[in-house]
Structure 1
């Protein structure tokens, strides 16, 4: 638990440093002196001054980065009637019998007697090789020091009511009675307005009574990785902020945003060109082709010998993709052969007997020359001596 608490104090140092001198000016340390009730010397009471009634005091701490020290060369008074390192051992019911208990040297957070809920007695963590409790238990103790890696701290949780300031906006954190001088350094943590995430840690040097300022506790925080793009050569504590350049050269950036194709915010056009304007007007694709007469992008148009884009050719009637002269017709105009074999003809003219312009003779022969000369009829007969056509002449006898 000791190492865990000390690590947490170190881990939050960077957010505390952000408050800088403003935090120091706000959360000063006031040391008041008074005459002890019984013991010799002077009683010093240490108060952390708050600025708001909702501010909460959290802890007194010390470690190798922020040493905690109290020096009392003439010795600190510790009553044998308080067996605790804190005010939890000072029972008000016993003060009438043992008034020197009121002069005891003790650690505290807002209490001068045992806690009553919702207040809570402070908890303690300390390095076993350098404990701080002997200063509060040994009469005549001359010093307290915590400067190891593990360190030490006494603290209350953010829910304890004694972490809140009193009516004078301050929190009692320490009492020391000594016959000589007192000096040292207190490191403490405060939650402004009670918000733990906004904690500040302050280091206050003090010497005797008075109101003291100091510096923000803890080392300089930043990126300590020399290979990082935000390396800070002044940082002594790595705050986890180290970053690398993204593909756009931005330190700690997230690279090319989803949907973009480069670091300038461009997107791919329809041709797959980053930041391009797409297919040029008049073109039909990204290769500079245009539509041919058949509507084919980059095509060569109607093939030679074809009459259209569907692969058809001209038929005998000159129709593209046609089937030619219909069966029964004699030409492309829908005509048929007449009786004379003429395409679209009107046949044998009226009065003619055939397609050659002939007419019927007197014998009914088409194109004939009629009754031959000397004949008397179309059957080849002649007139007999009696003048009868085809007759046998004067009968015998």
Structure 2
């Protein structure tokens, strides 16, 4: 055991206080610590998987992922303490009802999967310097097999609401989470044990696709966030209309939550796209998309997913001025997924002439695509 490790053992509370003070100075609004024990809530996660609610995210059900999520030590064998950090974000403004596409409020200029770990690393380096410590850490941010909301509850940050989001009494549920697995053995905070959802069910009532389940989880197969971000295939026909104006993600179950009342004064009015902007972005090349959305959350959907989403929303808006751009996608886009999405939107906007246009321009399509188009 080296001297720095002994120093941690002798003054764990001062280390803990220093971590929290520095975390707040770096812009994190919430900070809690939990231990390395197995997650008691893991059984519910297994039940969620067994019912197929993870949809096309097959990797979640692999033995490797299940094993690592069940116990923090399966993921990081040397972990002794887990630091859970959170920072709030403004929810999207859905008050504009006409000719607008909505993007989830967390979508900023740079991907939080990059910015939060950068701050986390700065936090750890400052701790090493201040206390002359040598220790190991590993940072996770919504990209590894970690049940982060459950860890956040255990670290005292809030409770899991009926919309499946972590809810903090002060900041609501619009929170970005980051976890730091530490080799330092630090005192754990008391877990959050109260549930303030009460009899409220606004989130499930207002969900456009009815994806919120009774057991405080969601059916990813119907969730707009999953359908427009993680889903790599076509959007099911039955869910296209309920998606409405949601281009990328969905904040609806959070916008209507009473615990986010304070958030409504700082709605993200920039997380929208006008009709003209959507029509223009339909025609971005792969290189243009990569350049525009480098290190941006929208890159998660890839160009093909973004164009698919644009087509879906433009079809729902039913504005005839979108037809030329949609027709160009159908005729020239290199991705079958984009061509099919454009075809669907064309028919939504102009059922008769739109279908005729499609049937007259199928020569460039594969046999399978022709079958899809003729069946629309």
Q: Which is greater in Rg? A: 1
Determine if the TM-score, normalized by the shorter chain, exceeds 0.5. no
TM-score normalized by the length of structure 2? 0.25
Bigger relative contact order, structure 1 or 2, given CA contacts below 8 A and separation 6+? 2
TM-score normalized by the length of structure 1? 0.24
Structure ranking higher in helix proportion: 2
Structure ranking higher in strand proportion: 1
